[in-house]
C-alpha cells in the first residue's frame, strides 16, 4: 500500500488575510507603541524603587552604625573567644535589635575581625575589609556584591556596608562594620514580576480593544471595497452615501464624486459611439445600395457617373467625419501637437472671413467684419483658424433669411485681473431654442430630432455632422480659453471666444 506523506499544515486563507490586513497591522503598530511606553514606564518605576530602597538601606545603616558606635564606646569592656570564633558577651542582651539579615563585626586596628554577629562567612568579612582598605578616607556606605551569594541565596544579593570608628574607655581603637542586603525583603523581584504581568495584561487588552476599534474605523473602507466590487461598466449607479464629517466621510464623498464623473464619461462615450456608428452607417448604406443598383444591369455612362459622384460625395463625408473624430480623440488624450506662437487674432479673423465669404454668398448671407482690434494670443494658427471656421460656418448655415448677416469682430478685455482676447461671431438668425442651448456643444448633437443630414436644392450640405461646435470648444479649452453663447430666440445669437492674451 502506498502511503501519502502528511502535508505540512498551512494557515487558512482567512488567517492569512487577517495577518496581512491593514487593521491587524494598525493594531500591531498601536500595541508596539504602547509596549514601548509601558517598557519605559516599568524601567522608570523599577529604577526609582531601587533607588528608594537603596537610600532607605543607606539611612538605616548610617543610623544603626552611629548607635552601635556610641553603645560600644560606653559599654564594651572585654571580649572572649570561644571554639567557633568571636562572639559578643556581657551587654549583648542590651544591644539594639538588628534586622535578620544585618551583619555586625568589630574590626581591630590590624584589620582582623575580633567580634561578629550575623551569617556572613569569615572570607566574606575579609573581602569586605579588603574593599574598605582599598578605598579609605570615606565613611559613606558602599556597595559590595558577596562572592558566591548567588549559589547560596536564590537570585543572589547585593550588600551595602558601613564602617564606623570605635574608641572604648580603655583606649582600644577599632571599627564597627555593619552590612545589610540592599533589598532584604526581596521587593524588587516581586515588583519586576508585577510590572511584567500587568504590562502583558494591558497589552492583551489593548490589542483586543485596538483591533475592535480598528475594525469599526475600517467599516467605511470595507463599504467602499464592496461597492467597488459591485460596480461594473454597465452599472455605475452605486454610491456610498456615508454622510460622515470625518476623513473617511471625505474619502467616501470623493469616491462618490469620482463615480459621478465616471458615469458621465461612460454615458458620453456610449452616446458618442452610438452617434458615430449612426453617422457612419448612413453613408455606408448609401454606397452599398448605389453600388448594388449600378451592378444589377448595364447602365449608360451618365448613370454610372451619377453613381460614382454620389459614392465620392459619401466618401468625402465619411473622410471628413473620421478626421473630425480623430481630432477630438487626440484632443481628449492630449496627444495632438499644437504649436504656441504669438498671433494677432484680428489677422486670423480676416483670413477666415475671406475664406468663407464665397460660402456666405452662396447662401445669401452677408459676412462682414466689425471692429478688429489688435489682440495677441499664443496659439497654433491652423487650429485657431479651425475654431473660428467652425463657428462662422455654423452661423452661415443656420442664418436663413433675406437680410441674413454674420458679423465677426475682435477686442481686448480685462476680466478677473487677467487680460483676454475676444472674438465675437454675431448673426441675426432664428437663434437657438432654450431647450437645446445646454447641449449645443455636445458631440453629434443637432437640434433636428431626425439627426439626418439636410441638403439644399444644389445638393450642398446644410447641416453638419454635429461635431463642429464640440471641436471649437475643445480647441479653446486646450489654450486655456472658453466659448460663451448669448442667445435671443427670433433675434439671433452671439458666440464669444475668450482666449488668454499673450
Using DSSP bridges, classify how beta strands 366-372 and 405-415 pair: parallel, antiparallel or unpaired.
parallel
Q: Does some domain include residue 212? A: no
CATH code assigned at 133: 3.30.450
**Domain for residue 343, yes or no?**
yes
- Summarize pLDDT for 403-439 with one digit per residue, the tens: 788 888 888 888 878 889 899 999 888 888 888 888 8
Cβ atoms of residues 407 and 368 within 8 Å: yes
| 407 shares its domain with 263 | no
Specify if 202 maps to a domain.
Answer: no
Report if residue 64 sits inside a domain: yes
What is the structure's pLDDT at 147?
54
**Which of 336, 356, 374 is the last residue before a domain boundary?**
336
The mean pLDDT value for 328-350 works out to 77
Q: How many domains does the chain have?
A: 3
Is 204 a member of any domain?
Answer: no
Give backbone dihedrals phi and psi of 412, rounded to 5 degrees, phi first: -115, 150
**Predicted local confidence at residue 279, as pLDDT:** 73
Residue 140 binned pLDDT confidence (cut-offs 50, 70, 90): low
pLDDT value of residue 156: 47
* pLDDT score at 172: 63
C-alpha span between 230 and 254 (Å, rounded): 18
**What CATH number has the domain bearing residue 472?**
3.30.565.10
- Identify whether 169 is part of a domain: yes
Same domain for 124 and 175, yes or no, is yes
**Cα(467)–Cα(445) distance, rounded to whole angstroms?**
8
Measure the CA–CA gap between 75 and 87, rounded to whole angstroms.
15
167-195 tens-digit pLDDT: 665 666 777 778 888 777 778 889 999 99
Same domain for 159 and 70: yes
Q: Give the model's pLDDT for residue 332.
A: 67
259 and 144 fall within a common domain: no
Q: Is residue 194 part of a domain?
A: no
Q: How far is Cα 500 from Cα 502, in angstroms, rounded to an integer? A: 6
pTM of the entire structure? 0.49
Range of the domain at 252: 227-336
- The answer, yes or no, to whether residue 25 has pLDDT greater than 80, is yes
Q: What is the mean pLDDT of residues 112-117?
A: 73
What average pLDDT score do residues 236-263 get? 80
- Residues of the chain with pLDDT > 70, as a percent, come to 78
CA 293/CA 308 separation, integer angstroms = 12
- Lowest-pLDDT choice from 29-43, 66-80, 261-275: 66-80
Domain holding 255: CATH number? 1.10.287.130
Amino acid at each position: 500500500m502506498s502511503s501519502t506523506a502528511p502535508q505540512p499544515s498551512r494557515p487558512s486563507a482567512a488567517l492569512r488575510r487577517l495577518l496581512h490586513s491593514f487593521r491587524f497591522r494598525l493594531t500591531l503598530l498601536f500595541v508596539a507603541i504602547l509596549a514601548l511606553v509601558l517598557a519605559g514606564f516599568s524601567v522608570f518605576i523599577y529604577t526609582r524603587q531601587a533607588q528608594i530602597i537603596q537610600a532607605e538601606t543607606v539611612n538605616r545603616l548610617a543610623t544603626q552604625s552611629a548607635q552601635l558606635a556610641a553603645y560600644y564606646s560606653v559599654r564594651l569592656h572585654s571580649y572572649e573567644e570561644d571554639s567557633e570564633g568571636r562572639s559578643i558577651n556581657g551587654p549583648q542582651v542590651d544591644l539594639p535589635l538588628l534586622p535578620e539579615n544585618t551583619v555586625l563585626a568589630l574590626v581591630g586596628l590590624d584589620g582582623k575581625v575580633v567580634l561578629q554577629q550575623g551569617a556572613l562567612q569569615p572570607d566574606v568579612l575579609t573581602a569586605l575589609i579588603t574593599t574598605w582598605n582599598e578605598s579609605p578616607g570615606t565613611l559613606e556606605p558602599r556597595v559590595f556584591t558577596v562572592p558566591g551569594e548567588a549559589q547560596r541565596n536564590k537570585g543572589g544579593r547585593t550588600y551595602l556596608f558601613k564602617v564606623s570608628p570605635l574608641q572604648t574607655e580603655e583606649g582600644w581603637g577599632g571599627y564597627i562594620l555593619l552590612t545589610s542586603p540592599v533589598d532584604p525583603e526581596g521587593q524588587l523581584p516581586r515588583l519586576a514580576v508585577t510590572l511584567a504581568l500587568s504590562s502583558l495584561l494591558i497589552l492583551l487588552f489593548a490589542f483586543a480593544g485596538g483591533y475592535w476599534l480598528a475594525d469599526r474605523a475600517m467599516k467605511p473602507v470595507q463599504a467602499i471595497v464592496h461597492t467597488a466590487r459591485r460596480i461594473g461598466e454597465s452599472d455605475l449607479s452605486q454610491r456610498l452615501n456615508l454622510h460622515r464629517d470625518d476623513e473617511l466621510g471625505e474619502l467616501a464623498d470623493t469616491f462618490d464624486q469620482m463615480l459621478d464623473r465616471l458615469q458621465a464619461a461612460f454615458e458620453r462615450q456610449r452616446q458618442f459611439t452610438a452617434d458615430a456608428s449612426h453617422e457612419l452607417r448612413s453613408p455606408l448604406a448609401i454606397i452599398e445600395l448605389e453600388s448594388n443598383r449600378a451592378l444589377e444591369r448595364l447602365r449608360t455612362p451618365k448613370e454610372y457617373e451619377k453613381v460614382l459622384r454620389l459614392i465620392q460625395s459619401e466618401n468625402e463625408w465619411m473622410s471628413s467625419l473620421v478626421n473630425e473624430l480623430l481630432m477630438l480623440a487626440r484632443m481628449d488624450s492630449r496627444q495632438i501637437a499644437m504649436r504656441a506662437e504669438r498671433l494677432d487674432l484680428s489677422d486670423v479673423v480676416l483670413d477666415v472671413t475671406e475664406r468663407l465669404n464665397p460660402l456666405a454668398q452662396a447662401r445669401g448671407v452677408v459676412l462682414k467684419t466689425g471692429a478688429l482690434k489688435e489682440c495677441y494670443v499664443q496659439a497654433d494658427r491652423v487650429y485657431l483658424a479651425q475654431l473660428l471656421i467652425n463657428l462662422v460656418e455654423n452661423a452661415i448655415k443656420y442664418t436663413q433669411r433675406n437680410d441674413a448677416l454674420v458679423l465677426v469682430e475682435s477686442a481686448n478685455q480685462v476680466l478677473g485681473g487677467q487680460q483676454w482676447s475676444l472674438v465675437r461671431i454675431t448673426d441675426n438668425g432664428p437663434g437657438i431654442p432654450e431647450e437645446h442651448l445646454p447641449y449645443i456643444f455636445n458631440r453629434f448633437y443637432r437640434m433636428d430630432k431626425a439627426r439626418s443630414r439636410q441638403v439644399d436644392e444644389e445638393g450642398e450640405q446644410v447641416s453638419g455632422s454635429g461635431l463642429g461646435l464640440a471641436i471649437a470648444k475643445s480647441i479653446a479649452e486646450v489654450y486655456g480659453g472658453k466659448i460663451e453663447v448669448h442667445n435671443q430666440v427670433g433675434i439671433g445669437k452671439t458666440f464669444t471666444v475668450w482666449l488668454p492674451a499673450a
